[in-house]
Amino acid sequence: QVQLVQSGAEVKKPGASVKVSCKASGYSFSSYYIHWVRQAPGQGLEWMGIIKSGGGSTSYAQQFLGRVTMTRDTSTSTVYMELSSLRSEDTAVYYCAREMATVTLDAFDVWGQGTMVTVSS
């Protein structure tokens, strides 16, 4: 079945970096885009950015420019999200999600299970 499986929980100190993985299966990896969305404890959903799994091009939300890097490995159908210069406000669950189509912008039909990232000294 179509699924996205993310890496496990992380605990990081302020100023460090974290890299979260998202492994896709059950569909043609290069044919879809993957997004990253985060959710702070008790808060709503915040879009972080997109990576086009085929070509690897990216687009990031303004508030993460300079701190986030999204990459992919087509040989393992895995997408990565690295966030640097971590601060306590980055404590959140990070989700990867697949966009339904690629011709125009579309909704997210498949989500990973989420990865909890805790930033604490």
Partner 1 sequence: EIVMTQSPATLSVSPGERATLSCRASQSVNTNLAWYQQKPGQAPRLLIYGASTRASGIPARFSGGGSGTEFTLTINSLQSEDFAVYYCQQYRKVYTFGQGTKLEIK
Q: How far apart are CA 28 and CA 56, in angstroms?
A: 15
Q: Which is nearer to partner 1, 5 or 16 (CB)?
A: 5
CB 14 within 8 A of CB 87: yes
Which tokens hold the place of 41?
Answer: 């404890």
Q: Which is nearer to partner 1, 18 or 48 (CB)?
A: 48
Contacts of 116 (CB under 8 A, 6+ apart): 9, 10, 92, 93, 94
Q: With contacts defined by CB under 8 A, name the span among 7-15, 40-48, 66-74, 80-88 that binds partner 1.
A: 40-48
Q: Figure out which of the listed residues 24, 35, 80, 92 binds partner 1, where binding follows CB under 8 A.
A: 35
Q: Measured from the CB of residue 29, what is the shortest distance to partner 1 in angstroms?
A: 19
* Six-digit token string for 64: 């993460």
Nearer to partner 1, 16 or 101 (CB): 101
